């Protein structure tokens, strides 16, 4: 795929999704961090349902630690892997307090040093909370990047590096959410909605149903 086609793809996605953002509900960088940690192998809808009960009573490192691990589990028990997530969040809260004065750090290395935070989560926080032009590659983005041939790669890191290289500069800040939303609602895993896709004529997917 050439850059002219990539530019056209992102121009169209941006025009169709004028305010791309996460579907997780949050009101601070720390709330977003907790929500993203909880979202691993879980839907945004299930996370939002849990945090709607959790955040009004505990939405800072101190208040979650005061709630205790057992109390935290009560609020997130409807989310997959809640036991390990609760343990990680408690350790994460301690580290944020002890090493970062209670503030979410703004570098990838510092974020990845937190329990339960990997490269993908760190990229989401850098992009969504702090406006950095990072692109976290989840299952939706991995699929869209390979299927359309915008940035094909055999693994997540390869796709991330190609996206970083090829996404037009003007769209880099929003690319993460543009691709996620396109993958979630149009370029779906089992039955992509090619007839309704605004980039179908630009996409290089050989099996598209247009």
**Residue of 120, 162, 173, 208 marked active site:** 120
- d(CA 76, CA 54) in angstroms, rounded, equals 8
**Residue of 85, 138, 172, 174 marked active site:** 138
The SS3 call for residue 6 is helix
203 annotated ligand binder: yes
Per-residue tokens: 180? 């996620």
Q: First CA to last CA across the chain, in angstroms?
A: 19
93 annotated ligand binder: no
- Measured from the Cβ of residue 45, the count of other Cβ atoms closer than 10 Å reads 9
Tell me if residue 45 is catalytic: no
197 annotated ligand binder: yes
Tell me if residue 120 is catalytic: yes
- d(CA 80, CA 20) in angstroms, rounded, equals 26
Cite the annotated binding site for [4Fe-4S] cluster by residue number: 187, 194, 197, 203
Cite the annotated binding site by residue number: 187, 194, 197, 203
Report the catalytic residues.
120, 138
């Amino acid at each position: 795929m050439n850059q002219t086609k990539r530019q056209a793809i992102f121009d169209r996605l941006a025009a169709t999704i004028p305010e791309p953002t996460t579907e997780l509900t949050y009101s601070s960088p720390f709330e977003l961090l907790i929500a993203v940690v909880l979202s691993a192998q879980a839907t945004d809808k299930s996370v939002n349902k849990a945090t709607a009960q959790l955040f009004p009573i505990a939405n800072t490192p101190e208040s979650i630690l005061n709630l205790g691990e057992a109390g935290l589990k009560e609020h997130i028990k409807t989310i997959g892997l809640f036991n390990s997530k609760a343990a990680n969040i408690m350790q994460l809260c301690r580290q944020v307090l002890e090493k970062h004065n209670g503030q979410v750090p703004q570098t990838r290395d510092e974020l990845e040093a937190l329990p339960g935070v990997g490269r993908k989560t760190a990229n989401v926080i850098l992009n969504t909370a702090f406006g950095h032009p990072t692109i976290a590659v989840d299952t939706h983005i991995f699929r869209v990047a390979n299927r359309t041939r915008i940035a094909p790669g055999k693994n997540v890191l390869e796709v991330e590096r190609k996206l970083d290289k090829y996404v037009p500069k003007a769209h880099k800040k929003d690319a993460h959410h543009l691709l996620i939303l396109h993958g979630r609602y149009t370029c779906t895993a089992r039955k992509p909605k090619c007839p309704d896709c605004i980039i179908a004529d630009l996409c290089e997917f050989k099996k598209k149903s247009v």
